[in-house]
Structure 1
């Protein structure tokens, strides 16, 4: 396996506001448990905050990587040879492609809090997936990494 000339890795981390929301979930649980005493209230604060933070962290832990001749997007591993043209989507186009323009057969790795995306055509005739929709904060860099990996393959 060769390594691409333009390595790429991105973690689609959750926004900072989600950590505040995690604390607010814990606070809400603490208020719910307040009638049962101080210890249950503190347990609710700690447990609720921790559970919400783990959920936010897990949702934001998905990665997009170009490693050698593979595109790894979340759990999917796709050879770059099976990919065609990449289209950089600004916020407006990305919204359109994840709503009314979306194809139900497409592979969507989307995070609504990431406004831009890359749409990559799938050229493998054995694969019914027409395209990949990848939420990314750096669509230009991802497109360049895919192009470099395809050229190196």
Structure 2
């Protein structure tokens, strides 16, 4: 996450700790800071993270957060560079696409689907290692199996 995404939660934690410090003078003055600042850091880390996983096994799947996609429905995989990201999320974006965008992460991966029962044309998600994810998807034995 970018530095500006940390400012508000950390400032809120420090201000809340200062209020607690003044409201409860019997507490050691450092105690609210030791509790609230790490709590704010943990909250930002937890909320800013989307788990991305490519499972192998009997039914290989791509997991983006809580959503999963069997790899047999993957028709093609594109890497969208940071330079082309604005176009991919703007004029080229299909409203029916599944999109998980993190503005602080530059590149995207676009996974085109071939599933007649699913109206979603593609998945578009942010990742710091798009080439690695694309290689994992295209090297899977289930890739384009349909």
Instruction: Compute the TM-score of the two structures, normalised by the length of structure 1.
Output: 0.73
Find the partner of 1:48 among 20, 36, 39. Answer: 36
1:28 aligns with 2:19: no
Report the Cα distance in structure 2 between the residues aligned to 1:151 and 1:104, rounded to whole angstroms: 25
Q: Which has the higher contact order (CA 8 A, sep 6+)?
A: 1
The question of 1:76 aligning with 2:67 is answered: yes
Give the aligned partner of residue 4 of structure 1: none
- Point out where structure 1 has 5 or more consecutive residues left out of the alignment: 1-13
Higher helix fraction: Structure 1 or Structure 2? 1
Q: Comparing 37-46 with 131-140, which one deviates more in the overlay?
A: 37-46
Count of residue pairs brought into register by the alignment: 140
Name the Cα RMSD after superposition: 2.9
Where do 5+ consecutive residues of structure 2 fail to align? none
Q: Which of 1 and 2 has greater Rg?
A: 2
Paired residues of 2:71 and 2:143 also in contact (CA < 8 A) = no
What is the CA–CA distance in structure 2 between the aligned matches of 1:37 and 1:151, rounded to whole Å?
61
